[in-house]
A and B are shown apart, each in its own frame.
Chain A
Amino acid sequence: MDKHYCICIGRKFCSGGRNVAAIVAEKLGIRVYDKDLLKKAAQDTGFSEKFFDEADEEKTRKGLRSLFISHFTGSGLSSNYLSNESIFNMQSDAIRRIHEQEDCVFIGRCADYVLRESDRLLNVFIASDMDDRVARVCRHADDGMTQPKALSLIEDIDRKRSSYYNYFTGRTWGDPAFYDICLNSTTLGYDRCAEIIVELARERLGI
């Protein structure tokens, strides 16, 4: 059995995944890693954090440009340390190292796939109703945000997260078959979601 357990939370954009993760972590007294992961990976490799940020899950390039980029960075002929693939591998190493050192919650970044061999792993996916998400975006964003704009932003980011996840893992983002439990934060509320996750974690992960 692994020394440390971990809870991986996948989430649709603006579904409160981070809030739920924070409550879970507080109840269990452990840390949450989301963007901090990038910082950690950067420290481990001696690379500037900027590169990890640029290759992060919501910033993958699209369209024709990405086609050419893959030619220039991905070709099996040469090794490029700044390609998305190599940065993903460095980030994965950071995830594995953190998992060896402490109990924690990972948000996104394909941690569920990276740690798939672990026997103390709980995979969670959090979604919520579209109306709820649009309202949340409008509440948090600048004044210029309208409902249609919020809707297209949500769709855009979901699409990017999905293509990032599917590309690197070969799994399907948000497909219930790959998670232990999928929760709707609109119907359950953040606190109830967190309670369920903690309960399940205690039962399954031998805490």
Chain B
Amino acid sequence: MAELKTPQELGTERIGKLLIRYAVPAMIAMLASSLYNIVDRAFIGHGVGSMALSGLAVTFPLMNLSAALGSMVGVGSGTMISLKLGQKDHESAQMLLGNSVTLNILIGVLFGALSLIFINPILTLFGATEVTIGFAREYMIIILAGNAFTHLYLGINCILRAAGHPNKAMIATIGTVLLNTFLDYLFIMVFHWGIKGAAIATVISQVLAFTWQCFQLSDKSELIHLKRGTFRLRGDLVKNMLTIGLSPCLMNAAACFVVLLINRGLLKYGSDVAIGAYSIINSIGFMIVMMVMGFNQAMQPIAGYNYGARQMDRVLRVLYLTMFFGTCVTTLGFVIAEFMPGACIRIFTNDPELTGIARNGMMINFIFFPLIGSQMVIGNFFQSIGMPGKSIIMSLSRQLLLLIPFLIILPRYYGINGIWYSMPASDILSVILGFSLLIPQVRKLKKMV
């Protein structure tokens, strides 16, 4: 939150210019993290095979769960540290940094160990079969062994951002993606290590990123750095961090549950191959969604500041402009998915059976994409003007509350297509919900202009 120091420009500078300036770095970070998924899956799809892709896909719920625990510590410590830095209370910020490192190691190792012990029943629950469990296990054992490093790397990135070093956080993110791409190529294409290679590449790049972060944070001239004596857990700090981090954790855990439902549904009404197809569709969709999130992140400070300063005309302008950009991005996704699905899928596989299922799923899945751009922006808009209640309804509706009933009901009538239908069905309902919440709000804002 370092940029909080000079907010004046948010109230005066041209909205379009502000939005672009704030959106570009956010989008780069978002694109980098979605590219990571695509690269990993592309190398596994082409270098190992389509069953390996399905094996990878059944590990997603477990990865989500791990990310949920990581985000709990990350968001909690990031928020607390930026608060303490704002108060120039460097000693407490330092303490929080040390405590968050310990907590990440503790949770990372514990989660990794527990999952390793129960790896077979867990993967079966998430949709693994005799064909795919071998790949899933081979991949997951290595990822789980390095789980503590994943948590440390992600956690410290949150802290770097909160401590006013968003650029360093971005370098770490992009560096990890590039390194992972190179190592994926080396291990899978050159060394032929199979799916194991992808896991080793992930762990190595995260360990290296973490080492780099440690160098950054051991500079004694920095406001906060790693210091002996700060690593011993303090009850009050841990409690505060975990309370703040609990809700992002729950949101991610909910995502895990949805993926679990999808995977099991695809397996029941389709086959192992369908799970792999979903992982292809998912990574394309994720990239589009992340780009909209980049615009959302840029909108937040602009809308929030101007709302606080009672400049409602500017609030409305940034809302409309972000909705426009968001819609452009999701429409682009729609065009790509509907008119050139083959080209997208070729990034991941040449397998004709997998391509067929993925093409069908993708064309159904993306059908209402031009509309959801504005839905995502609306949800974020409520958040940035201090109405988190409505924002929560918006983000839960599309990904959880509306989706789950469809996922349970539709496949009974339409088989595997029912699962693909569920996503656009919940898209369209949540768009309607979004506009019905937004229109009264806009009327209110217009009166205040």
A71-B251 in contact (CB<8A): yes
Distance between B245 CB and nearest chain A CB, rounded to angstroms:
8
A68 to B388, CA, bound (A): 8
B386-A51 in contact (CB<8A): yes
A76-B161 in contact (CB<8A): yes
A116 to B92, CA, bound (A): 13
List the A side residues contacting B391 at CB < 8 Å: 72
B388-A81 in contact (CB<8A): no
A68 to B250, CA, bound (A): 9
List the A side residues contacting B78 at CB < 8 Å: 75-77
A168 to B310, CA, bound (A): 27
Distance between B195 CB and nearest chain A CB, rounded to angstroms:
31
Q: Which of B81-89, B261-269, B323-331 contacts A (4 or more CB under 8 A)?
A: B81-89
Distance between B355 CB and nearest chain A CB, rounded to angstroms:
36
A65 to B388, CA, bound (A): 9
30 A-B pairs, CB-CB below 8 angstroms? Answer: A45-B308, A46-B11, A48-B308, A68-B388, A68-B389, A68-B392, A69-B388, A70-B243, A70-B244, A70-B246, A72-B388, A72-B391, A73-B383, A75-B75, A76-B1, A76-B74, A77-B158, A77-B297, A79-B3, A79-B4, A81-B4, A81-B308, A82-B304, A82-B307, A85-B79, A86-B86, A88-B86, A114-B87, A168-B83, A170-B236
A88 to B85, CA, bound (A): 12
Number of interface residues of B (CB under 8 A): 48
From the candidates B3, B75, B305, B386, name the one contacting A71 in the complex (CB within 8 A). Answer: B75
List the A side residues contacting B388 at CB < 8 Å: 65, 68-69, 72-73
Which residue of the partner chain A has the closest CB to B296?
A78
**Residue B248 interfacial (CB < 8 Å):** yes
A33 to B169, CA, bound (A): 40
* Given A45-B308, A88-B86, 12 new contacts (CB under 8 A): A48-B310, A71-B247, A72-B391, A72-B392, A74-B244, A75-B248, A78-B300, A80-B300, A89-B83, A167-B240, A170-B89, A170-B92
B301-A76 in contact (CB<8A): no
From the candidates B75, B161, B304, name the one contacting A74 in the complex (CB within 8 A). Answer: B75
Number of interface residues of A (CB under 8 A): 34
**Residue B226 interfacial (CB < 8 Å):** no
**Residue A128 interfacial (CB < 8 Å):** no
B74-A88 in contact (CB<8A): no
List the B side residues contacting A168 at CB < 8 Å: 83
From the candidates B84, B162, B251, B385, name the one contacting A76 in the complex (CB within 8 A). Answer: B162
List the A side residues contacting B84 at CB < 8 Å: 170
From the candidates A78, A88, A166, name the one contacting B301 in the complex (CB within 8 A). Answer: A78
A168 to B84, CA, bound (A): 8
A51 to B308, CA, bound (A): 7
A88 to B89, CA, bound (A): 14
List the B side residues contacting A92 at CB < 8 Å: 86-87
From the candidates B74, B87, B161, B301, name the one contacting A81 in the complex (CB within 8 A). Answer: B301
Instruction: Tell me the residues in window 58-81 of chain B with beta carbons closer than 8 Å to chain A beta carbons.
Output: 74-75, 78-79, 81
A82 to B386, CA, bound (A): 6
Which residue of the partner chain A has the closest CB to B162?
A76
A99 to B78, CA, bound (A): 29
**Residue A113 interfacial (CB < 8 Å):** yes
Q: Render B294-332 as a binary contact track against A, CB cut-off 8 A, 1 for contact.
A: 000100110011011110000000000000000000000
**Residue A141 interfacial (CB < 8 Å):** no
List the A side residues contacting B79 at CB < 8 Å: 70, 74-76, 85
A74 to B243, CA, bound (A): 12
